[in-house]
Amino acid sequence: MKKKSYLSLLLAGILCACGTSSHERQLAQAIQNDSTLVQVDSMARAILGQGFNAGSGYSQVWARDMNTFIETACEVNDPADIRGAILLFFGMQQPNDEMIDGYVLKPDFTWYDDTPYYSDNAPLHVGFKNTVETDQESSLIQLVGKYIRKTGDRSLLQEVVGGRTVLDRMDGMVDYLMRERYDEHYGLLWGAMTADWGDVQPGEGFPCDLNEYSHRCIDIYDNAMFLIALDYLQDLTDDSALKDKWHALHERIAANARKHLWDARRQKFVPHIYLEESPVPAGFDENDIYYHGGTAVAIEAGLLTKEEIVASNRQMLENVRLSGMPTIGPACFCAWRGSRRL
């Protein structure tokens, strides 16, 4: 008999922990008994065993994507190959400690991009980045943390890339975010206005790059991802000074996220705090939009109480019902609260 998939156990565990109604308990049991989840897990393992790129016709390797499947990838690939793929990201790290979204071999760089990233530490590859987002550094730090927890390979932290250790480079990535993407007034990271955890902005110009049409703002997704990364960093070092630095920053970001982004009355996160003008048309209440993706990551970051998680789960399920979508996923970018529909 096949073991239950990790996904099914995770979903059922969340519902069992948060659910109080008989319906939620029944749903948890249904998930545990769903054999199709085992099939999906098996199919995912088969795909991941073929490499780390995002698809058969899509040769790029993305930090954000790899972060989501690294644990399973470690079970179906040679650890040396995974280690090499991770180190290549640090080879592509920029002199200002900025991290790319992903990389590709130079012959496979066939699309238009007016701002490709290069590095002498990875001469065979080209990097790329959707600069509207602010989760690249956080994604890679989480990726490293998950890899080490899965494999026990802490030697990766002391691997030297371009004269600096991986641990030092990750510390530099935190400093980059605090220098380039931190708003002093709110005490939180900012990015461009996009839909939930997406990397596409409205308006003119290339939709994935910051430009004169971008609208700088603060959202829960970027900051929750940063909090999770800071948690991993504290586990990755015995240096008390670094631990104290990352712990203090984590506490400050968490407190400010609760203060400025959590709407206690409506039991939801506000979609955006705009640092300049808002692109939202007059008469439209953006806070009617419920961001499922950012909320889910905030739960992972430990920002919500058990009671708030219960309330969030119920609202998201109701959003899906009202939207007419078959799953949470298709509705997550713009699920309406109340009786409004997509």
Residue 294's nearest CA partner among 232, 212, 217, 242 is: 217
43 lies in the same domain as 61:
no
Residue 278's nearest CA partner among 328, 222, 201, 215 is: 215
**pLDDT top residue among 156 and 326:** 156
Domain that holds residue 3: 1-48
CB crowding 37-55: b at 16 or more within 10 Å, else e: bbeebeebeeebeeebbee
pLDDT band at 339 (very low <50, low <70, confident <90, very high): very low
29 lies in the same domain as 97:
no
Residue 193 lies in a domain: yes
Q: What is the mean pLDDT of residues 198-227?
A: 91
Residue 336 lies in a domain: no
186 lies in the same domain as 276:
yes
Distances, alpha carbon 166 to alpha carbons 70, 102, 128, 155, 169, in Å: 18, 17, 20, 10, 5
User: For residue 325, how many other CB atoms are within 10 A of its CB?
Assistant: 15
Tokens found for residue 228:
């999770």
254 lies in the same domain as 119:
yes
Tokens found for residue 321:
């019902």
170 lies in the same domain as 199:
yes
Q: What is the mean pLDDT of residues 233-248?
A: 97
* Domain of residue 264, CATH code: 1.50.10.10
pLDDT band at 21 (very low <50, low <70, confident <90, very high): low
Question: Which amino acid does the sequence have at 41?
Answer: D
Residue 319 lies in a domain: no
Give the range among 38-47, 55-64, 93-102, 227-236 with minimum mean pLDDT.
55-64
Dihedral angle sign, alpha carbons of residues 236, 242, 245, 248: positive
Beta bridge partners of 62: 102
Question: Could you give the CA distance from residue 10 to residue 32 in angstroms, rounded to a whole number?
Answer: 9
Residue 328 lies in a domain: no
Question: Could you give the CA distance from residue 301 to residue 223 in angstroms, rounded to a whole number?
Answer: 9
Beta bridge partners of 191: 217
Q: What is the mean pLDDT of the chain?
A: 87
Look at residue 130 in the predicted model and tell me its pLDDT: 93
254 lies in the same domain as 107:
yes
Residue 220's nearest CA partner among 186, 173, 176, 171 is: 186
Question: Could you give the CA distance from residue 133 to residue 139 in angstroms, rounded to a whole number?
Answer: 11
Residue 340 lies in a domain: no
Query: Which helix (H) or strand (E) element contains residue 69?
Result: helix 63-76
Residue 104 lies in a domain: yes
pLDDT band at 20 (very low <50, low <70, confident <90, very high): low
Helical axes 292-300 vs 220-235, angle rounded to 10°: 20
Residue 271 lies in a domain: yes
Question: Could you give the CA distance from residue 255 to residue 301 in angstroms, rounded to a whole number?
Answer: 12
Residue 261's nearest CA partner among 219, 320, 299 is: 219
Tokens found for residue 125:
């590859």
pTM of the complete model: 0.86
26 lies in the same domain as 161:
no
**pLDDT top residue among 49 and 150:** 150
Residue 339 lies in a domain: no
36 lies in the same domain as 80:
no
How many domains, in total, are found in the chain? 2
72 lies in the same domain as 36:
no
Q: For 149-207, how does the pLDDT look when each residue is reduced to its tens digit (9 = 90+)?
A: 999 999 999 999 999 999 999 999 999 999 999 999 999 999 999 887 778 888 788 88
136 lies in the same domain as 220:
yes
Whether 139 has a pLDDT exceeding 80, the answer reads yes
147 lies in the same domain as 16:
no
Question: Could you give the CA distance from residue 36 to residue 214 in angstroms, rounded to a whole number?
Answer: 42
Q: What is the mean pLDDT of residues 31-45?
A: 82
Q: What is the mean pLDDT of residues 210-216?
A: 93
97 lies in the same domain as 21:
no
pLDDT band at 3 (very low <50, low <70, confident <90, very high): very low
Yes or no: say if 261 and 237 are a contact pair by the CB < 8 Å rule.
no
- Which DSSP category does 194 fall into? -
